[in-house]
Homo-oligomer: A and B are copies of this chain.
Amino acid sequence: MAAGSSIGTVFRITTWGESHGTAIGVVADGCPAGLHLTEEDIQKLLDRRKPGQSKFTTQRKESDQVEILSGVFEGKTTGTPISMIVRNLDQRSKDYSEIASCYRPGHADFTFDEKFGFRDYRGGGRSSARETIGRVAAGAIAKKFLAALNITVTAYTKSIGPVEISRERMDLKEAANNRLCMPDAEAAREAEAYLEEKMAQCDSAGGVVECVIHNLPAGLGEPVFEKLDANLAKAMLSIGAVKGFEIGDGFAASASCGSVNNDAFRMRGDAVVKATNHSGGVLGGISDGSDVVFRAAFKPTPSIARPQDTVSRDKKEMELTIHGRHDPVVVPRAVVVVEAMAAITVMDMLLLSMTSRLDMIQLFFQVEEGSDEE
């Protein structure tokens, strides 16, 4: 794939739009026909990433109302591209002269200028987190499609700064109760205190999001380059601010032993299952029937309110103080983006997995099996 705003093969999404342009949107192509879909299905997920929901998120007032422009007829997807749009309401003429004329540390200002020669500097332009609106809208479709196959995708905050959830206390329902999406009330309180400290210091924090894909059939993913985990890794690293990805035991596995890290196979009734899940649901790049479990590491928000050393576009060293309010941590709002990107990736690979076996294809086309034998 060359042009950079598309991802996926059979189910492919293309996002577009800048932070302070007219609108933000996505075209989701290749969704099978016959899926019930309404704007409410999309809006529900979009509302989970909306700013202005707590003291830890930006106060930008955007209702972020989605409109479905194509691809749905009489309440069902038609198999043709589903175009969705969210108008940017908050385009008030702010003063961007400072951002325009220098490079914010930790942002893409410098690299955009190097690549394209100039950039839309308003609110970060294309590299703004608002670009994820398109991902989440498409992710809502993918989540609905997967639900129709009884597959669920659930992400939550695993850590903020140094504060981690406890596996013992972990309770997924709790993640919906606190503003940090942590499935552990105690860790959430601790993390809130940590964030308030960082805000008082004009500083910011990072964190880790964990995601679980439940009920995925075994057999998804291709053996070599199109491994399921390789595509999940790309999908996660494609999210701005993500600096790391791991599946199953991940980096910890590198310090473990084979006798511990190998998951024994056992029978549960008629089904082959794994006694443990160090692999994170993938063996040789192919789903193994266990939960797929992976994590994405987010760096601290680069926009901080204290003076920073940088250089101007005309190549003079200077000191920059970024004004305005910014999230001290992106993680809580990124949880739904992780879910969306995981769902989009899995949906595509599930559709592709249908062509692996001749006998299943013959069944699909209602042709007698074995008809290729002499």
Is A306 positioned at the interface, with any CB of B under 8 Å from its CB? yes
How many copies the complex holds: the figure is 4
- Interface check A32, CB cutoff 8 A: yes
B-facing residues in A214-252 (Cβ within 8 Å)? 217-227, 229-238, 240, 243-251
Partner of A111 from the list B11, B12, B218, B259 (CB cut-off 8 Å) is B218
**A interface, how many residues as a size bin?**
35 or more
A73-B120, A262-B308 are contacts. A238–B224 as well, Cβ < 8 Å? yes
User: What's the minimum C-beta distance from A228 to chain B, rounded to whole angstroms?
Assistant: 9
Known contacts A111-B286, A115-B286, A283-B108: A356-B148 contact under CB 8 Å: no
* Given A243-B250, A244-B250, A253-B300, 6 more pairs with CB closer than 8 A: A3-B30, A17-B83, A23-B69, A115-B353, A225-B238, A354-B355
A64 → chain B closest CB, angstroms: 15
Interface contact A32-B361, CB-CB below 8 Å: yes
A257:B204 contact, CB within 8 angstroms: yes
A54-78 residues at the B interface, CB under 8 angstroms: 67-71, 73, 76-78
Q: Is A200 an interface residue (CB 8 A)?
A: no
Q: Does chain B have a CB within 8 A of A156?
A: no
> Which of B6, B147, B198, B205 is close to A29, meaning CB atoms less than 8 Å apart?
B6
Complex Cα–Cα for A329 and B5 (A): 37
Q: Which residues of B contact A53 (CB under 8 A)?
A: none
- Top 8 A-B residue pairs of the complex, sorted by shortest distance between their CB atoms: A108-B284, A4-B222, A244-B246, A3-B30, A148-B372, A204-B258, A4-B226, A111-B286
Taking each of A85, A202, A356, which has the highest tally of chain B beta carbons within 10 Å of its own beta carbon?
A356
Residues in B neighbouring A15, C-beta threshold 8 A: 81, 224
Residue of B at shortest CB range from A372? Answer: B148
Could you say which residues of chain B place their CB within 8 Å of the CB of A115? 33, 79, 218-221, 286, 353, 356-357
**Can you list 30 contacts pairing A with B, beta carbon distance less than 8 Å?**
A1-B1, A3-B11, A5-B27, A5-B224, A14-B14, A16-B27, A17-B83, A22-B70, A23-B83, A24-B70, A35-B372, A36-B373, A79-B357, A80-B120, A80-B125, A111-B219, A111-B282, A115-B286, A126-B223, A144-B372, A149-B361, A149-B365, A229-B237, A230-B235, A244-B250, A244-B253, A245-B246, A246-B297, A262-B304, A272-B315
